[in-house]
Amino acid sequence: MSNVPHIISSILAGLGTTIEAAVGGIVVTIVVALIAGLALLSPRWPVRAVARVYVEVFRGTSEVVQLFWLYFVLPVLVGLQLVPLFAGILVLGLNHGAYGAEVVRGAVRSVPKEQYEGAVALNFSPAQRMVRVLLPQAFAEMLPPFNNLFIQLLKSTALLSFISAGEITERGELLRPVFGADIGWIYGTELVLYLLLAILITTGMRALERWAARRLGRAPVASTAPVLSVGGGGTG
């Protein structure tokens, strides 16, 4: 029992790294997913082909294998050793960005065709169509799947223990041989921390969802909803 405060504080020392890895991974994921997702929708086939190869390679090979490859193989090939945390962020972002690219592609394609045609009729340039009409509407569609993706990414930060990045999981594994009797506290602390971080991500994403719905005039407020929308149920 007397070891418990020490165990908890040792694991908490890795919390900063876990958060850095998760936040960094999320940022890379968003950037990569947007670029690759829009590239998948490009009218030029070479652009689509490059994006497709990226998506399939990163979705098709295992995330752990990617981590090992980037951390152990890349230095041999190009003579450049990445810092563990940086390598981790890169793999987390590139891997989940490949899944996110499909989310972006699907969300943009789910915007009603009339919206696109309207933008064409208004003589918007392709960039204006995307930025002013399609993306703002697609954005709301992307949020729930991105929430799932970010939770996956958070869980994947545990893999960084394989390359000694010093995050929560690795701290716990360093403690395990020494504090064998209190092993329940080690994993209990870790699980609670991951659960709290997951709740934090979901809470943030839910707030974003409400904000996006309001901005698009889709706020699901029953009292102010137009009467017309009530009739919709009968036709299906």
Interacting span for other proteins (CB under 8 A) from 21-29, 135-143, 191-199, 217-225: 191-199
- Find, among 163, 200, 169, the residue nearest to 18 by Cα: 169
Name which of residues 97 to 156 contact other proteins (CB under 8 A). 151, 155-156
**Could you give phi then psi for residue 217, rounded to 5 degrees?**
70, 30
91: Cβ contacts below 8 Å, ≥ 6 apart: 63, 66, 67, 70
> For other proteins, which is the closer residue by CB, 119 or 151?
151
Query: Which of 1, 45, 46, 76 lies at the binding interface for other proteins (CB under 8 A)?
Result: 76
Interacting span for other proteins (CB under 8 A) from 42-50, 120-128, 134-142, 181-189: 181-189
> For other proteins, which is the closer residue by CB, 119 or 194?
194
HSE-CB at 164 with a 13 A cutoff on CA atoms is: 4
Tell the smallest beta-carbon distance from residue 135 to other proteins (Å). 26
- Find, among 77, 87, 79, 143, the residue nearest to 110 by Cα: 143
Interacting span for other proteins (CB under 8 A) from 2-10, 43-51, 64-72, 126-134: 64-72
Tell the smallest beta-carbon distance from residue 27 to other proteins (Å). 20
Q: Rounded CA gap, 68 and 1, in Å?
A: 37
Q: Rounded CA gap, 147 and 94, in Å?
A: 17
Query: Which of 8, 198, 208, 213 lies at the binding interface for other proteins (CB under 8 A)?
Result: 198
Query: Which of 12, 49, 64, 122 lies at the binding interface for other proteins (CB under 8 A)?
Result: 64
Cα 119 to the center of its chain, rounded Å: 30
Give, in order, the Cα–Cα distances in Å from 1 to each of 86, 171, 175, 176, 177: 36, 19, 15, 15, 16
Interacting span for other proteins (CB under 8 A) from 7-15, 36-44, 52-60, 226-234: 52-60
Contact yes or no for 202/150 (Cβ under 8 A): no
> For other proteins, which is the closer residue by CB, 141 or 190?
190
Q: Does 214 bind other proteins (CB under 8 A)?
A: no
User: 120-133: buried (b, 16+ CB within 10 Å) or exposed (e) per residue?
Assistant: eeeebeeeebbeeb
Which residues contribute to the site for other proteins (CB under 8 A)? Answer: 56-57, 59-66, 68-69, 72-73, 76-77, 151, 155-159, 161-162, 169, 172-173, 176, 183-184, 187, 190-191, 194-195, 198-199
